[in-house]
Structure 1
Amino acid sequence: MDVSIALFTADLRLRDNPVLRGALRSARRVVPLFVVDRGIAARGFAVPNRAAFLADALAELDEALRKRGGRLVVRHGDVVDETAAVAAETGAGEVHLAAGVSAYADRRERRLRAALEQDGRALTVHDAVLTVVPPGALTPAGKDHFAVFTPYFRRWEGESPRRPGPAPREVPVPEDVRSEPPPEAAALASGEPSPGLPRGGEATGQRRLAAWLRTGLEGYARDSDDLAGDSTSRLSPYLHFGCLSPTEVVHRARERGGAGTDAFVRQLAWRDFHHQVLAARPAAGHRDYRGHDDRWRKDRAAFDAWREGRTGYPVVDAAMRQLLHEGWMHNRARLLVASFLTKTLYLDWRAGARHFLALLVDGDMANNQLNWQWAAGTGTDTRPNRVLNPLSQARRFDPRGDYVRRWVPELADIPGRAVHRPWRLPEGQRPADYPPPMVDLTAGAERFRDARA
């Protein structure tokens, strides 16, 4: 075959990319194609933080391809129409694509296959590009997916993922194929990104991974829940955009070894777990996975206070302000603020999930929606009615109050643990510009339990 197409989606890398490797094996020349998909924008996923990260990632991908004699071909429009047009223009006989798990990815794959076959061309879909273990590869007897993490993880741990492959040395691209320049962030989404947003891209992700393995992995099991210590890898945006291969991350972590390896690799298994749930139940992106006939309250003022970080519970407010500033939030904090919204305020998890997707640079349908459902007790949590108390969580995971003081400047001068209960300070010491608690925790928990009874 003379020409094939590697259609990049959420796999914006050259290292360990079966899509690109498959396209190179099948033809003399390859079109590395990225379509700025108007379908993604129409569904509300084109937001400033992810647009900025994506623009960085595409620029790095184009630069890496040019070092190998190629370039990234960029088109704008409907991904199926544009891919079929490039195939027709170049005479490509085959398109290579990573398997997705969302309902949108499934529709995209079916439409693309039909359009290509109509012109006598083929679509090759590659598994285990976006995950370590392909969704659907592990199933319990008589079922199409695992609904509980622990038995899934036992099976997942026993798998032997492929050995990661290197980046290709050369990527020969047809000279005459038309391309637009890699887009700037402003062309992908209107609005300003969060000021503390990380830079995207494969080279940047590789540097972050190397530093993390060298300095952070050993202490991960001990320190990962320490809010102020910020001891997580922060690799999730690079995994979400495919700047890093999850298979390579697992392989290199195991190769490095150390006390924190098993705990860290377990988080990659959680990511795979959520992908296999969504692949089997695409509606879980917007419907309860396990319903409880919840009659969620409608309280815009309460939601806005939560969203803006002014609930009166400092650890909740610190987390929400971190999200606004960085487009990212510590995993422990994500669970805490989601429990507060859904179980203490008894507001719909979908509203919280939408707000997270508007800001999270790593926001995707599988991890974001299913983690929200876990916190709301409508998902895969085996204890769906558990309520995370923000005060006890703060004492446990921010014992000195450093995380709160970092993100809530109104409380910066309050020493020690007193920062978690500023309303209990003597009247002259209470911060005048910080709100009192918006809800009594006991009353909120009782309201939730009564609703679920």
Structure 2
Amino acid sequence: MTDIDTDRTAVVLLNRDLRVHDHPALAAACSHADAVVPLFVLDDAILSRGFAAPNRLVFLAKALEDLRALLRERGGDLVIRRGDIVTETMRMVRETSATAVVCSADVSAYARRREQRLAAACGTENVAFRTYPGVTVVPPGDIRPAGGDHYRVFTPYWRAWEAGSWRPILAAPRQIRMPPGMTAGELPGRELAGEGPVSPSLPAGGETEARKLLAAAVRKRADWEPDHDDLAGDHTTRLSPYLHFGCVSAREVAERLRDHAPGVVRQLAWRDFHHQVTAAFPDIARRDYRARDQAWRDDPHAAEMWRRGQTGVPVVDAGMRQLLAEGWMHNRARLITASFLTRNLKVHWRVGADHFFRWLCDGDIANNAGNWQWVAGTGNDTRPNRVLNPLRQARRFDPDGVYVRRHVPELAEVQGAAVHTPWLLPENVRQALDYPPPLIDM
């Protein structure tokens, strides 16, 4: 590449790519520049406007701590600054006489405005600016339908995605040379999350933990792939928060699980699909992708009972309580709870999307809004009137009620499949459970 001058300094601006393995922007800088500054800016525009939920901030703090350790193992460091991301990046450029700024490309409206501002600022100071892939397996825009800017339906996208060629996986840099005299800055801690409530059972952030989970997924799926929709079995990789923060490369996950975990790889394709939709429709978190003239109900009480896991429908409540406890929810439970809010309670999908975004460690604009709109019938589902009956879903994916009992302790002593319909139990038994009846007739 010619954007980074040898014998000069490059600033690698880190955002959702907090790793050293398979990091195209970092690898390019280390290969072509004499000195590299890995920079993370605690962005006041995000921290002050509520986009950074407490769960994600706690996860982020651990991810940054882990990344600094990995960079130091290679002779580098993680430089931490706080403020406006463009201002702080350009200040670092001037301090180090850098000739290039590189980063991983992203698709949200905010990320794209940030890239435009960085490009303009770098242009003003005659500094090269370049974005690299790294957030998805296939970059948005790399595959397009004939005569269109993006795929609107998943199945043809999946065929093109699966048949296409992928960029090579890059090794972690062996050595990272930094300019002399750099002040790294203080790592944020738990205080970054402020006073907001934090889920008690959050996963630990960072690439080290992500690579352990990936290795475990490869081992578990070496000869078989369990049913990833089994709620109680939880046969998931648990990698989604690490993918969101780029603690592990989606490209590497796809490569290592491609031959023996096709279900996981298909989920990565869905993730890429939503990213390419968001790149074409940046307002996806606020506006219907496809207007359906839905008649939404303004029902604050029902919405609050849904948020608290007190709807009286056990499989829905189990999912919502798992979210509050772990900052994560099983994918099948996400579909069930979202369908219940939008299809059964007829509450607007944005109410649910905002709640998920507040609590999920993997809260991601493209995936979160894309999936909510898919369930609500305003997105990319070819069957916009699809309804996931929560009782049928419970009997199919939690037939013995193990998942429900795990997360709804009031029902722990209810035997067998009756746990899914406690309102049908004898009145004296039902009242003793201290569990509400369903918000609507089931």
Query: With structure 1 as the length reference, what TM-score do the two structures score?
Result: 0.94
The match for 1:406 is 406
Aligned runs of 1:97-246 on 2, under 5 Å? 97-127=103-133, 129-216=134-221, 218-220=223-225, 222-246=226-250
C-alpha separation in 1, matches of 2:419 and 2:189: 42
- Contact 1:4/1:27 (<8 A) preserved: yes
- Contact 2:11/2:100 (<8 A) preserved: yes
C-alpha separation in 2, matches of 1:411 and 1:219: 33
Give the 3-state SS of the residue equivalent to 1:285 in structure 2: coil
The match for 2:60 is 54
C-alpha separation in 2, matches of 1:113 and 1:37: 17
Give the 3-state SS of the residue equivalent to 2:394 in structure 1: helix
C-alpha separation in 1, matches of 2:115 and 2:47: 18
- Contact 1:131/1:247 (<8 A) preserved: yes
Structure 2: gaps (5+ residues) = none
Deviation (angstroms), 1:432: 3.8
Q: Does 1:321 align with 2:324?
A: no
Q: Which amino acid aligns with 1:225?
A: D
Aligned runs of 1:48-447 on 2, under 5 Å? 48-127=54-133, 129-216=134-221, 218-220=223-225, 222-254=226-258, 257-258=259-260, 261-430=261-430, 431-441=432-442
C-alpha separation in 2, matches of 1:394 and 1:416: 12
C-alpha separation in 1, matches of 2:52 and 2:101: 25
Deviation (angstroms), 1:190: 3.2
The match for 2:27 is 21
C-alpha separation in 2, matches of 1:218 and 1:235: 20
Q: How many residues were matched structurally? A: 435
C-alpha separation in 2, matches of 1:373 and 1:175: 50
- Contact 2:59/2:204 (<8 A) preserved: yes
Deviation (angstroms), 1:134: 0.8
C-alpha separation in 1, matches of 2:224 and 2:308: 33
- Contact 2:411/2:433 (<8 A) preserved: no
Deviation (angstroms), 1:43: 3.6
- Over aligned residue pairs, what C-alpha RMSD do you find? 1.2
- Contact 1:54/1:185 (<8 A) preserved: no
Give the 3-state SS of the residue equivalent to 1:213 in structure 2: helix
- Contact 1:33/1:74 (<8 A) preserved: yes
Deviation (angstroms), 1:77: 0.4
The match for 1:444 is none
Q: Percent identity among equivalent residues? A: 56
Deviation (angstroms), 1:187: 2.3
C-alpha separation in 2, matches of 1:398 and 1:253: 26
- Contact 2:58/2:192 (<8 A) preserved: no
Q: Deviations over 1:184-225 (max 9, x none)?
A: 1312443242111100100110011101110146543x4111
Q: Deviations over 1:20-46 (max 9, x none)?
A: 011112310000000001111234222
Q: Deviations over 1:250-303 (max 9, x none)?
A: 11113xx33xx2222111100100000000110112100011122311111110
C-alpha separation in 1, matches of 2:78 and 2:197: 26
C-alpha separation in 1, matches of 2:193 and 2:428: 49
C-alpha separation in 2, matches of 1:27 and 1:303: 53
- Contact 2:79/2:184 (<8 A) preserved: yes
C-alpha separation in 1, matches of 2:143 and 2:190: 38
Q: Deviations over 1:157-200 (max 9, x none)?
A: 01121221111111111122333211113124432421111001
Q: Which amino acid aligns with 1:425?
A: L
- Contact 2:374/2:380 (<8 A) preserved: yes
- Contact 2:138/2:161 (<8 A) preserved: yes
C-alpha separation in 2, matches of 1:266 and 1:401: 27
C-alpha separation in 2, matches of 1:237 and 1:112: 27
C-alpha separation in 2, matches of 1:247 and 1:388: 31
The match for 1:44 is 50
Deviation (angstroms), 1:413: 0.1
Give the 3-state SS of the residue equivalent to 1:136 in structure 2: coil
Q: Which amino acid aligns with 1:18?
A: P
Give the 3-state SS of the residue equivalent to 1:379 in structure 2: coil
- Contact 1:216/1:231 (<8 A) preserved: no
C-alpha separation in 2, matches of 1:262 and 1:27: 39
Structure 1: gaps (5+ residues) = 442-453
Q: Which amino acid aligns with 2:170?
A: G
- Contact 1:318/1:408 (<8 A) preserved: yes
C-alpha separation in 2, matches of 1:37 and 1:179: 17
C-alpha separation in 2, matches of 1:218 and 1:78: 49
- Contact 1:97/1:124 (<8 A) preserved: yes
- Contact 1:65/1:72 (<8 A) preserved: yes
Match of 2:40 among 34, 38, 59: 34
C-alpha separation in 2, matches of 1:264 and 1:69: 35
Q: Which amino acid aligns with 1:439?
A: I
C-alpha separation in 2, matches of 1:178 and 1:60: 18
Q: Which amino acid aligns with 1:277?
A: V
Q: Which amino acid aligns with 1:328?
A: W
C-alpha separation in 1, matches of 2:196 and 2:242: 22
C-alpha separation in 1, matches of 2:166 and 2:190: 35
Give the 3-state SS of the residue equivalent to 1:374 in structure 2: helix
Give the 3-state SS of the residue equivalent to 1:95 in structure 2: strand
Range moving further from structure 2, 31-40 or 156-165: 156-165
Shift of the 148–43 alpha-carbon distance from structure 1 to 2, 3 Å rule, reads: farther
